[in-house]
Amino acid sequence: TGTPVNGTLSLNITNILDSFGNALTTTAFSYTTDITSPGYTVSNPSTGTMVNTLPSIQINYTEPMLDAGNSANYTLSGAGTGSLAVNTVTALGGNAFRLNFSGTISNGTVNITLAANIRDNAGNPPASNSFSLTGDIIAPTQTSNPVARKAIGNSLTSITFTFSEPVLSASNSANYTFSGPGAGTLAVASINTVSSSIYQINLTGTPAQGVFTVTLANITDIAGNALSGTTLTLVAGYSKYRRINILNSGITGALTNFPVAVIVNASRIDYSAMQANGIDIAFYDNETEGFNKLSHEIEHWNAAGNSLIWVRVPSITANSNADFFYMYYGNPSGTDSQNASAVWDNNFRAVHHFNKPATTSQTDSTSYAHNAVPGGMVTGTLVNTPLGLGLNFDGIDDMLTIADTANLRFTGNLTISMWVNWNSAPLGTAPLVEKGGITGIDDDDNYSFFLKNVSPGRMSIEFMDNTSNLRSFSQGSQTVNTGSWVHLLFRYNGTNIRFYQNGALQDEFPAAYTLKNTITLPLLIGRNNNGGVNYFFNGIMDEVRISSTPRTAAWAEAEYKSGADTYLSYGPEL
């Protein structure tokens, strides 16, 4: 009866004789009693450790164990188990065993339970039959102050990074690098560890105007997951910025390299924070598109009213309002970053904003430099328009002439567009754009786009066939009213002709001929000649564009909405 304790148990036998009176040869026995459960430690990784992979784990027992090398005697449970299983067990010697796993871990606790078969030589099971690890396969993230894309002005003394969980190596200054034109001389001076997940990066040096990127390297969480979101992009040289959303919902086609009209006023920009001519303004694409600087051209700047900037957007998604870009501004010492000709890709052969004094040449914004020389214009001919400035043609002798050049002669694809507010056509024709016709030869045109004075006017196109020299004439069926602003677009693709008014398709005709591109006469705006009779446009004209590509229906609608200031929405100033 009773229970032993740890130690030596001696048994002495006395007074036991055989039947002849002989005493026992051996009268004492010794045993070692062991009632203590064995212990163990866990290493590589240790108990409770957070891990993102688990190829193996080592169990170090305090004494020799029976059946500890049998993989069936270890079971796994818990949310972090995933597809983990004990594949094999390796005896390492010295009472140590390595559990080798197959499968992958998940997020959560992994419980490892030892079966009752595992025991010491005395039959004692371990004092604890289970231990746990924590599976963590989620990468840490970071937020920052200043926030991403922030306009930081001309100085930056510190950046605070807040990580989603405790991280390692975030206090090492070598793990932060600066790149990009806006980085200037910025460098890490010191790092304050606010907590295990918050670090203040103190900076030395000054930024320059432009975008720069702070790159974070070698930062992981305790489980070893590398940081997700290893860059912070900021914009130096500007004190304010806004997000501008593109409202392309309902327009069924995607657009590429589309120039949008950014129209700003006191409700959309802080003029007081800017230079008088607006040169301290810049535009950047959204993060998905790479946060690249966008080419822009300031057409008109009026700090007391509306200003107009054209911005080239590389891509716009069909039937979506998800696309956006950023406008940065506010730097009294900033430099001009315009790149006007880059706003208009090579498909644009001429773009005239009509924003120069009427008696001087009207500059072509494209790289082709097809400047238009005025004729008959007077000082008062430059007038205000919804898009800024335009030219008022008197219907008597006002016109613009562009010298002949091969890249204004077309055989196939051609698009002409403009904004007009016309009055009348006393002689029956209101000429818009004509290439040819000034020699008195009837209808000797590469192309002639005009309004025919029918109830009160309709879009019309006339050209000579490239082979037969026969005349082709097409007239729209829809009225172009006088006395109000309308957007007109003519498109020819070698197969058919289309007329668009205010972004909507009005007419489509088959094209029987190919444009005659051997006519070397100048291009005229606001005048044409038919049979020796000169016709002049009477009204206001703005934003005349000639393209060597057949613009799509989506383009026509977006161009109208952009000019009508209904294509963009402006976020709050930040």
Residues 275 and 223 placed together within one structural domain of the fold: no
Torsion of CA 172, 173, 176, 181, to 10 degrees: 180
pLDDT for 218 equals 98
Residues 232 and 282 placed together within one structural domain of the fold: no
Q: What is the pLDDT of residues 35-72, one digit of tens each?
A: 999 999 999 999 888 999 999 999 999 999 999 999 99
* Residue 468, in any domain of the structure: yes
Q: Is the dihedral of CA 368, 373, 377, 380 positive or negative?
A: positive
Residues 326 and 352 placed together within one structural domain of the fold: no
pLDDT for 326 equals 97
Q: Quick one: what percent of the chain has pLDDT higher than 90?
A: 77
**Contacts (Cβ under 8 Å, ≥6 apart) of 405:** 368, 370
Residues 87 and 148 placed together within one structural domain of the fold: no
Residues 179 and 221 placed together within one structural domain of the fold: yes
* Confidence category of residue 515, pLDDT binned at 50, 70, 90: confident
Report whether 161 contacts 169 (CB < 8 A): no
Quick one: three-class SS letters along 17-65?
Answer: ECCCCCECCCCEEEEEECCCCCCEEEECCCCCCEECCCCEEEEEECCCE
The residue count for the chain: 574
pLDDT for 474 equals 85
CB-based burial, 28-53: b 16+ in 10 Å, e otherwise = eeeeeebeeebebebeebeeebbbbe
Residues 292 and 383 placed together within one structural domain of the fold: no
* Residue 3, in any domain of the structure: no
* Confidence category of residue 380, pLDDT binned at 50, 70, 90: confident
Q: Which of 236, 262, 280 is the last residue of a domain?
A: 236
* Confidence category of residue 518, pLDDT binned at 50, 70, 90: confident
* Confidence category of residue 497, pLDDT binned at 50, 70, 90: very high
**Contacts (Cβ under 8 Å, ≥6 apart) of 288:** none
Q: What is the pLDDT of residues 342-378, one digit of tens each?
A: 999 999 999 999 999 999 999 999 999 999 999 999 8
* Residue 501, in any domain of the structure: yes
Closest CA to 490 of 422, 432, 434, 415: 415
pLDDT for 443 equals 58
Range of the domain at 119: 40-135
One-letter amino acid at 330 equals G
Quick one: three-class SS letters along 314-374?
Answer: EEECCCCCCCEEEEEECCCCCCCCCCHHHHCCCCEEEEECCCCCCCCCECECCCCCCCEEE
Q: Which of 84, 107, 135 is the last residue of a domain?
A: 135
Closest CA to 420 of 455, 383, 378, 463: 383
Residues 109 and 232 placed together within one structural domain of the fold: no
Residues 171 and 183 placed together within one structural domain of the fold: yes
Residues 400 and 530 placed together within one structural domain of the fold: yes
Average pLDDT (66-91) is 97
Q: What is the pLDDT of residues 206-223, one digit of tens each?
A: 999 999 999 999 999 999
How far is Cα 296 from Cα 365, in angstroms, rounded to an integer?
Answer: 11
Closest CA to 538 of 483, 474, 467: 483
The partner residues of 449 in beta bridges, in order of sequence, read 433, 461
How far is Cα 13 from Cα 68, in angstroms, rounded to an integer?
Answer: 39
Closest CA to 530 of 458, 437, 407, 459: 437
3-state helix vs strand vs coil in the chain, percent to 5:
5, 45, 45
How far is Cα 99 from Cα 87, in angstroms, rounded to an integer?
Answer: 8
pTM of model > 0.85: no
Closest CA to 419 of 273, 562, 250: 562
Q: What is the pLDDT of residues 529-549, one digit of tens each?
A: 877 788 899 999 999 999 999
Average pLDDT (516-537) is 87
Q: Is the pLDDT of residue 442 over 60?
A: no
- CATH number of the domain at 315, please: 2.60.40
How far is Cα 82 from Cα 104, in angstroms, rounded to an integer?
Answer: 6
The DSSP result for 147-161, as a single string, is PTT-B-TT---EEEE
Residues 433 and 520 placed together within one structural domain of the fold: yes
* Confidence category of residue 438, pLDDT binned at 50, 70, 90: low
Report whether 373 contacts 501 (CB < 8 A): no
- CATH number of the domain at 450, please: 2.60.120.200
CB atoms within 10 A of CB 426: 13
Q: What is the pLDDT of residues 87-121, one digit of tens each?
A: 999 999 999 999 999 999 999 999 999 999 999 99
Number of domains in the chain: 4
Average pLDDT (152-163) is 95
* Residue 11, in any domain of the structure: no
Peptide bond into 426 cis (omega under 30): no
Element (H, E) at 528: strand 527-530
pLDDT for 462 equals 83
SS3 289: helix
* Residue 487, in any domain of the structure: yes
Q: Which of 207, 236, 265 is the last residue of a domain?
A: 236
Residues 121 and 159 placed together within one structural domain of the fold: no
Element (H, E) at 559: helix 553-563
- CATH number of the domain at 160, please: 2.60.40.1220
pLDDT for 454 equals 62
pLDDT for 102 equals 97
* Residue 27, in any domain of the structure: no
Residues 325 and 357 placed together within one structural domain of the fold: no
Tokens of 535: 């016709």
